[in-house]
């Protein structure tokens, strides 16, 4: 199991603001990091799966970076929109055929119009 | 689009009843997971499976049991429901490999009265 910390726990921003939040994990024994978005009344949906140190992935206005040496990943949202309101979950894992997908507590983002 | 289905979506049942929550996926995924989320709380892994005839307990102790007789089917059973079992239960599946995304079902919201 990789212990994971997500911060902040919750965040309120205005429409149009850019924002970011953090997923921290032990840097040893790391293999991959997953980011998911979970909107109210819907199922969690994968945003990114990242494995390489220094990797940066982008999907529309959302991007993520990964630092495996220091054990953190940032998720950025540029120009937040109300539809970005959701809980953002990260799940690091140590790989291997027997890995299990366990999540942090998440960051609850609310974008006010 | 994810092809993973959970039934029922909502269930209200009396204490002491036996219940089975169904989860089926048509993607041929070997890995399947059950998560539990209490209101306002984080997503906890309670069971997972690497494939047919493989089941493991997750990070959160649960009185539920699971079975995996067929690749596509991963039902969760509570032999005697109690009010403390009231929660949302989410099922997910993924291909093998630590860097593959998981797909989630819509969840079952269980209320035990």
pLDDT digits (tens, 9 = 90+) for B43-68: 999 999 999 999 999 988 889 999 99
| Predicted local distance difference test score (pLDDT) of residue B9 | 96
**What is the pLDDT averaged over residues A54-61?**
96
Interface test with B, best of A73, A91, A102 (most B CBs within 10 A): A102
Give per-residue pLDDT as tens, A62-84.
999 999 999 999 999 999 999 99
Q: Is B92's Cβ below 8 Å from some Cβ in A?
A: yes
pLDDT at B14: 97
B60–A contact, CB cutoff 8 A: no
pLDDT of residue A41: 87
Tell me, what's the pLDDT at B42?
Answer: 86
pLDDT bin (cut points 50, 70, 90) of residue B1 is low
Task: Decide if A43 and B106 are in contact by the 8 Å CB cutoff.
Answer: yes
Alpha carbon distance B25, B27 (integer Å): 6
C-alpha distances out from residue A59 to A56, B94, B99, Å: 10, 21, 17
End-to-end CA distance of chain A: 39
């Amino acid at each position: 199991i990789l212990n994971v910390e997500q911060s902040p726990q919750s965040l309120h921003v205005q429409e149009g603001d850019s924002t970011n939040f953090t997923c921290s994990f032990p840097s040893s024994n790391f293999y991959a990091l997953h980011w998911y978005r979970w909107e109210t009344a819907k199922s969690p949906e994968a945003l990114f799966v990242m494995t390489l140190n220094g990797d940066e992935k982008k999907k529309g206005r959302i991007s993520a970076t990964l630092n495996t040496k220091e054990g953190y990943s940032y998720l950025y949202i540029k120009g937040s929109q109300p539809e970005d309101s959701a809980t953002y979950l990260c799940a690091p894992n140590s790989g291997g055929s027997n890995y299990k997908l366990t999540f942090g507590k998440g960051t609850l983002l609310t974008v006010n119009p | 689009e994810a092809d993973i289905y959970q039934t029922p979506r909502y269930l209200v049942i009396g204490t002491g009843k036996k219940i089975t929550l169904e989860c089926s996926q048509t993607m041929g995924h070997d890995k399947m997971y059950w998560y539990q989320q209490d209101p306002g709380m984080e997503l906890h892994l309670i069971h997972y499976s690497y494939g047919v005839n493989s089941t493991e307990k997750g990070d959160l102790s649960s009185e539920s049991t699971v079975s995996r007789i067929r690749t596509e089917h991963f039902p969760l059973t509570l032999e005697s429901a109690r009010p403390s079992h009231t929660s949302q239960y989410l099922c997910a599946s993924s291909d093998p490999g630590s860097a593959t995304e998981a797909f989630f079902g819509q969840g079952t919201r269980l209320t035990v009265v």
